[in-house]
Amino acid sequence: MWPDYMYPCVDVVGPGKVGVRDKTPGMTIFFIIFIFLTTFFIMNLFVGVVTEQFYAMKDEMEGTLFLTN
């Protein structure tokens, strides 16, 4: 759904003015970079939480939760 927001932003001229088609094409690059960066950031958070929970449950099941190496 992000292209629905990108297209009006590309047409922006200024406050209170009517948009011109494809006036600021740099906004397209901004939106694409923003989507990729936020997607990778959220994915890294998700994978980090899943692996942390996996190792916590693994340690708890093996009985080595309170033992040192």
Do residues 27 and 6 touch, judged by C-beta distance below 8 A?
yes
Q: What is the pLDDT of residue 66?
A: 59
Residue found under tokens 């094409």: 25
State the pLDDT at residue 29. 92
**Whether pLDDT at 69 is above 80:** no
- Using a 10 angstrom Cβ sphere, with 0-12 exposed, 13-18 middle and 19 or more buried, the burial of residue 27 is middle
Q: Which amino acid is at 38?
A: T
State pTM to two decimals.
0.58
What is the distance between the alpha carbons of residues 7 and 28, in angstroms, rounded to a whole number? Answer: 8
Measured between alpha carbons, how far is 67 from 31 in angstroms, rounded to an integer?
A: 49
